[in-house]
Structure formats: structure tokens, C-alpha cells
Chains A and B, each alone.
Chain A
Amino acid sequence: MCLAIPGKIIDIVHGTPTLGTVEVVGVRRKVDLGLLQDDMPVPGDWVLIHVGFAMSKISEADALDQMRMLAVLGEAEQAMQEVEGYGFEDPGLEGPKPGPGLEDLRTKPN
């Protein structure tokens, strides 16, 4: 319902700390950083931009985890099935650790 795009903070406007210049593949715009005041981004950080406001910081570590997770997709599950037989347990709860990233992708409610 909301178009939001990742962009990289390239500088913070001098004298207006809640305003930053963000670059999205070669396009720059001043973006309001006021909604990230609890954890202000610094130049080099990536943020999600919606209607001219930065909504959240983007975590490269989580993105890389996702890519690693996708890279081992299927293989992990197949390996699991070989170990466990065709069961309906949630794969990865027990059994060998299929690869980096999977662990982190599991929901941690707290």
C-alpha cells in the first residue's frame, strides 16, 4: 500500500540535523529524518524512504542473511529430509544446521 524505496544517506544538511540528502541510484533528494530520531542515521547508512521521509534503517547484515538463506534454499530442506525421512516437523528446528543465515531468519518474538 505504500511505495517505499531504499536510499543511501550521503550527507546531513548542515544546521538541520533532521534533514539528510539521500541517493537512490543516482537520484538525490532531501529527506526528513525526523522519524528516525531514536536512532539517527549517519552518512553511509541505508534508509527506507516513503513520501520524503526516512521510515527505517536498512540492515545490510539482514539482507545478506536473506541472500545466504535463499542460496541454500531447498538444499537445506532436502538434506534434512534425507536425515529425517519425509516428516512434517518444521525443518531446521532440530537436525544439522543447514547453513548460515537460516537460524537468524527464524522468528524471535523478543
Chain B
Amino acid sequence: MRFVDEFRDPEIITKTAEEVRRLADPAKHYRLMEVCGGHTHAIYRFGLKDILPANIELIHGPGCPVCVLPMGRIDDGLAVAQEPNVIFAAFGDMMRVPGTQGSPLEHKARGIDVRIVYSPSDALKLARNNPEKHVMFFAIGFETTGPSTALTLMRARAEGIQNFSVFCNHVTIIPAIRAILDSPDMRLDAFIGPGHVSTVIGCRPYEWIAVNEGKPIVVSGFEPLDMLQSIVMILRQMRAGESKVENQYKRVVPWEGNRAALRAMAEVFELRPYFEWRGLGFISQSALRIRDEYAQWDTEQRFHVPGIRVTDPRAAQCGEVLKGVLKPAQCKLFGRECTPEHPIGALMVSTEGSCAAYHSYEHRKNLLTSIQTAA
């Protein structure tokens, strides 16, 4: 087993898609939210919409860490990056995200030392190898990525590495889902739960969605067969009139999550009282900051961070798209002022951002359909 190819078997995919069609009541319209941007990406990457019945609508959720980061945080990070002898290290995902004065890559073009890292531990390695510089790791991500940052900080402290700090933008998924469900213009039938976040937090934190909100949620893997099977499981729950938390991604996700990862996060991070999300506004207890015990490795405590707040361009409707109220193409700027080459909103930057995914993989296909329908 390679745990990838098996879940892309065309024959079983076709069969599973048939089962979805069989279970979906043609008289009903199903609105399922995939919380995780990785799922959004997979839906487009594998062309899953082509094989799902038209009455199953997939709504893209808030689980894209790049997309939900307000522009002011990028400006703050880049402000520190301009101090002498600072190396700005971040994942490739951040590199094209626009700040008010341009993206990290544009800053690199102007001479700022910007490095792409694959892992937080690579950023720490940069610090070890460049003792005369200060390496600032611009950390993003939900609970999947948080533990890796935490463990890296623990290692930095254990080794006594002084020239390293983390600009922490880690966020947590549950408050975001709650914000979506509290949104008055949102009507959802069920959730496809975030598989990789759940390797850390487990499946319990979703129970309120099933119990209090009465919505089925199935924690799902990212291969085509995983997602189709999750939709089958959701439809079965709905047919049975049930709402419960189910784990489709058992091969990877333990029901209780990863306790060692949670311990590492608790050691290094604490909840911020509130944090601003792009498109969703301020959400209380929805993000992590570095504990005082690790203040020495906290960019925000060690450097002067301007605390810039930027409102999104008024015409951009990122918030509505992020909440699933609007489809990407319904935004006034989509495909015109805002394109993957010149993104205005963050949703157009990350390949997980629903706008970028839609623009890259689906946009022209849909134009084609509308032309054919009109003809």
C-alpha cells in the first residue's frame, strides 16, 4: 500500500460516485461545507464537481490560513523584516500574498532577505547557520501546523538559540466554524470535516456541531475516494435523519487526536483573547500567541511591531466568499481586477483559496457551460 494511488482508483471512484447519486434525493438541494482549504483544492484538482450530482453544492469554508490572515499582519511581519540583519522566513504559500506595500516576494526583489522554508525546523536551521542574523519565522496555520512551530520553539529554547523568533499567526478552526454557523445569511446542511487538523485535535471538538446545531459532520481524507465516501456518509446520516460526528479518515485520524502535539501547543502557546480574521472580523479566542515563558522567541515581544490594521479593498468581497455566501465568480472583482497574477484578496493567492482554485481549475470550464446553455 502507498496510501495514495489506492484512493484514486478510477473504477472505485466511479462506483462511489454512483452511490452518491443513488443516495441524493433529486428533490432536495444539499449544501455541504468543506471546512478545509485542502479539500477545496482537492475538489478542483480532481474535478470532483464533474462527477457529483448537480444538487450537491459544495461550499468552500474558512480553512485556508493564508486566506484568513488580515493584510495588516503581513504588513507587520514585513515591517520587522526591514530591520537590519533580519531574515524573513516563511512557507512558499505566503510569498505572493499582498501586503499594502507588496508581497514578501516583491520585498525580496527590493533587497529584503526573504527565504522560503519547507518546515519551521528549516527556519531554525537558518538561524543556526546565520548566527550574525536574526531569523524571524512568519508562522501561519491551523492546529495541524501549530504543533510543529511549538516543537521548533521548544528546541530553540533547549538549544539556547538566541537569534530566532516566531511571528505567530496560528489560528484555531472551531471558532471559525462557529462564526460561520452564527452568520445569519448562511444555510448549511452538513460539514466535511478537516482531516489533517483532526490528526491533532481529534473528532470530539466537533460534537457540538452534530448535537447542538444538528448538522452531520464527517472528518474526511483528501483523496478523491475519501471525499466521495465522506459525502456518502453524510447523505446516509441525512437520510436516516441523524446528525453525528463520523470519522471517514480513520487510517490517519485517531478519535482522540494527538496528545503529544496538543501538549507541545499548550507548552508554548496560549489563546489570544481575540484575533482578527480576514472576512470574518474579530473572533474571540480564535488564535494563539506565544506564552511569556517563550517571550524571547516571540517576534511580537522582541521587536517593535507596528500593529497595522488595513481594511480590505471595499470592492473585494472576500468575506462573503469566505463565508460561502457568494461564489468566487460572483465577486465584483473576480477575474477582472483580481487574478492569480495580480491578487487583490488573499483568496486569490493560495492555491487553497477558493478564488484561486476556481480561477485556475474551473472558471473557463464554467464559461463554456454557460455558452453551451445559452446556445
Any A–B CB pair closer than 8 Å: yes
Closest to B239 in A: A88
B244 touches A6 (CB 8 A): no
B229 contacts A66, C-beta separation under 8 Å: yes
Among residues of A, the one whose C-beta sits closest to the C-beta of B141 is A2
Cβ contact within 8 Å between B194 and A1: yes
Inter-chain CA distance A110–B245, complex, in Å, is 12
* Contact flag A48-B259 (CB < 8 Å), given A1-B144, A2-B38, A88-B241: no
Say whether A73 contacts B242, CB under 8 Å: no
Closest to B204 in A: A109
Instruction: Give Cα distance in the complex from A4 to B226, angstroms.
Output: 14
A44 interface residue per 8 A CB criterion = no
CA distance in complex: A101, B222 (Å)? 20
Whether the Cβ atoms of B148 and A90 lie closer than 8 Å is no
CB-based contact A70/B260 at 8 Å: no
Query: B220-273: which residues lie under 8 A (CB-CB) from chain A?
Result: 225, 229, 232, 236-237, 239-242, 244-248, 250-255, 258-261, 264
Is A58 in the interface zone, CB < 8 Å from B?
A: yes
Q: Is the CB of B12 within 8 A of A2?
A: no
Bound-state CA distance A51–B19 (Å) is 35
Is B196 in contact with A50, judged by CB distance below 8 angstroms? Answer: yes
Q: In whole angstroms, what is the CA distance A37 to B259 when docked?
A: 9
Task: Out of B1, B118, B147, name the residue touching A35 (CB < 8 Å).
Answer: B147
Give the chain B neighbours of A63 by CB distance below 8 A: 1, 3, 6, 251
Cβ-defined contact, B264 with A91, below 8 A: no
Q: Is A65 interfacial (CB-CB < 8 Å)?
A: yes
B354 within 8 A of A: no
Please indicate the chain A residues that have their CB under 8 angstroms from the CB of B147 in the complex: 35, 53, 55
CB < 8 Å: which of A51, A55, A88 contacts B240? Answer: A88
Q: Does A38 contact B (CB under 8 A)?
A: yes
Q: Are A2 and B197 in contact (CB under 8 A)?
A: yes
Are the CB atoms of A25 and B250 closer together than 8 Å? no
A32: B residues at CB distance < 8 A: 119, 121, 148, 151
Question: Interface range on chain B: under 10, 10 to 19, 20 to 34, or 35 or more?
Answer: 35 or more
Identity of the chain A residue whose Cβ is nearest the Cβ of B148 in the assembled complex = A53
Least CB distance, A32 to chain B, in whole angstroms: 6
Q: CA–CA, A56 to B252, complex, Å?
A: 6
- In this assembly, does B4 line the interface, its C-beta being within 8 Å of a C-beta of chain A? yes
Judge if A14 is at the interface, Cβ distance under 8 Å.
no
A29 nearest in chain B by CB position: B118
Q: Is B65 an interface residue (CB 8 A)?
A: yes
Residues of B within 8 A of A1 (CB): 36-38, 63-65, 141-142, 144, 173, 194, 196-197, 352
Is B304 interfacial (CB 8 A cutoff)?
A: no
Contact yes or no, B242 A74, CB < 8 A:
no
Please list 20 pairs of residues, one from A and one from B, whose beta carbons are closer than 8 Å in the complex, sorted by A's number: A1-B144, A2-B197, A4-B196, A4-B199, A25-B4, A34-B151, A35-B260, A37-B260, A38-B259, A51-B118, A51-B119, A51-B120, A52-B122, A53-B119, A55-B200, A70-B225, A74-B15, A90-B237, A105-B250, A109-B255
Measured CB to CB, the residues of B under 8 A from A are 1-4, 6, 12, 15-16, 18-19, 22, 36-38, 63-65, 91, 118-122, 141-142, 144-145, 147-148, 151, 155, 173, 194, 196-197, 199-200, 225, 229, 232, 236-237, 239-242, 244-248, 250-255, 258-261, 264, 352
Seed contacts A53-B151, A56-B254, A90-B236; 10 additional CB < 8 Å A-B pairs: A1-B63, A2-B36, A6-B2, A35-B260, A37-B260, A46-B1, A58-B3, A58-B251, A70-B12, A73-B15
